[in-house]
Amino acid sequence: MNPTLRRISAFGAAALLVGGLAACSSGNAAPAESKGAVDWKTASSVEAGGGMDALIAAAKKEGTLNAIALPNDWANYGEVISTFEKKYGIKVEVENPDASSQDEINAVSSRKGQDRSPDVIDVGHDFDVAAAKQGLLTPYKVASFGKITDSQKEATGLWYNDMGGYVSIGCDAGRVAKCPTKFSELADPQYKGKVALTGNPAKSSSAYSAVFAAALANGGSFDNVQPGLDFFTKLKQTGNFNPVEATPATMEKGETPIAIVWDYRNAAYADELKAKGIEWKVAIPEDGVFSLYYSQAIVKWAPHPAAARLWQEFLFSAEGQNLWLKGYARPVLLPTMIADGTVDKTALTRLPKILQDKTSYPSEEQGKKAKSTVSDGWTKAVS
């Protein structure tokens, strides 16, 4: 399965670049150490568990973190994982790296009470919302919780957004005479058989968001995603749509010379393909600006509860956030890191350029409706 299939779109996130916010907050529970042995399964903050030293010690004793659907080449997750392992001596076991968000939820719900259950999930925002409603998650506020905008987190800490990006158009400059930079250009006959997605929009977040971005570029709105489906129907009818799922392998072979996918994925492809003599250009289309974040959460019955909490603390530290930035993704704490000087300035300057640094987002209800429309209509649109 294509690594991008692990992501399902979500909505209601705040803008990618917003102002810095108030200082950190934490859970209200009293330190557990005063009551005897710490039960990290119920600790709602590091303070509630007795402090960072206590958390690190408990996590090291557990020795393992069960994760799922974390591809090494997704937003620099390979380095994120290896850095965490070296820093704390904890092995991160990643099951099915290319799984979807729904696969993650299925694994959590079917393995309650089992040692094989994932400790944490990293999924599309709407899946965390659904998981919270199903009672699959446990509240935990990382030390930087107060720096995350309210619209990018659940108030009690059941989930919080981590990093995101913009829909972009990637293009093999050696095989395409003029690389497109807008959705309006993709219907040009010169792109016959060249325009690909990263999978089925009913399962792939990048593909799903490409449809939403196409809708915005063609008279649609957050309340009406149908123009996005109509756009791909047009590409199918003209022969421009390529049903092959875009991957680095298909790009290298020239099978998918144009790919619509997240900007951080296209930027990473550019690095990978450059080493093979391929110039892969990346453009964020100004006529269809669309972005979103993904979310983190701790499983309620995590078999390694301390390691799960330490993992979240690491991801939402400046070190963890900068590792995502290094992978071209825009971390949720980026505005605060820019303000306090902890941002990796070199990585920041390498981000794909966008003409506008702020964008609006559909509400949760708008996103739910759009997801249903795309899931129900995609097969007909390109059949």
Query: What residue type is assigned to position 320 of the chain?
Result: G
- Other C-beta atoms closer than 10 Å to the C-beta of 112 total 11
Res 9 pLDDT > 50? no
Q: Which residue has the higher pLDDT, 192 or 21?
A: 192
At 357 the pLDDT is: 58
Per-residue pLDDT of 53-102, as tens digits, reads: 999 999 999 999 999 999 998 899 999 999 999 999 999 999 999 888 88
At 313 the pLDDT is: 98
Give the residue-averaged pLDDT of 247-267. 96
Res 308 pLDDT > 90? yes
Cα–Cα distance list, 9 to 122, 256, 290, 322, 361 (Å): 12, 23, 11, 23, 12
Tokens for 343, please give them.
Answer: 């941002």
Per-residue pLDDT of 162-183, as tens digits, reads: 999 999 999 999 999 999 999 9
Res 221 pLDDT > 70? yes
**pLDDT averaged over every residue in the chain:** 89
Helix axes 305-315, 52-62, angle to 10 degrees: 120
The residue extents of the domains of the chain are 3-164+292-349, 165-291
Tokens for 374, please give them.
Answer: 């795309």
Cα–Cα distance measured from residue 364 to residue 71, given in angstroms and rounded to the nearest whole number = 27
What region does 12 belong to: left with phi over 0, alpha with psi -120 to 50, or beta? left
**Are both 3-164+292-349 and 165-291 of the same fold?**
yes
Comparing C-alpha atoms, which of 217, 225, 242, 209 is closest to residue 376?
A: 225
- Other C-beta atoms closer than 10 Å to the C-beta of 368 total 17
Give the residue-averaged pLDDT of 220-232. 97
For the domain bounded by 165-291, which CATH number is listed? Answer: 3.40.190.10
Comparing C-alpha atoms, which of 164, 351, 182 is closest to residue 260?
A: 182
At 36 the pLDDT is: 52
The fourth-level CATH superfamily of domain 3-164+292-349 is Periplasmic binding protein-like II (3.40.190.10)
Q: Is 42 exposed, middle or buried (0-12, 13-18, 19+ CB in 10 A)?
A: middle
At 18 the pLDDT is: 36
Token look-up 């987002």 returns 361
Cα–Cα distance list, 267 to 271, 274, 280, 324, 349 (Å): 7, 11, 8, 13, 13
Comparing C-alpha atoms, which of 299, 308, 301 is closest to residue 90?
A: 308
Q: Which residue has the higher pLDDT, 34 or 327?
A: 327
At 364 the pLDDT is: 79
Comparing C-alpha atoms, which of 18, 39, 15 is closest to residue 29?
A: 39
Q: Is 53 exposed, middle or buried (0-12, 13-18, 19+ CB in 10 A)?
A: exposed
Cα–Cα distance measured from residue 229 to residue 208, given in angstroms and rounded to the nearest whole number = 10
> What phi and psi values does residue 280 have, to the nearest 5 degrees?
-105, 110
- Other C-beta atoms closer than 10 Å to the C-beta of 113 total 7
Contact criterion met (CB below 8 Å) for 288 and 355? no
User: β-pairing, 258-262 with 195-196?
Assistant: parallel
Per-residue pLDDT of 86-143, as tens digits, reads: 999 999 999 999 888 889 999 999 999 999 999 999 998 778 888 999 999 999 999 9
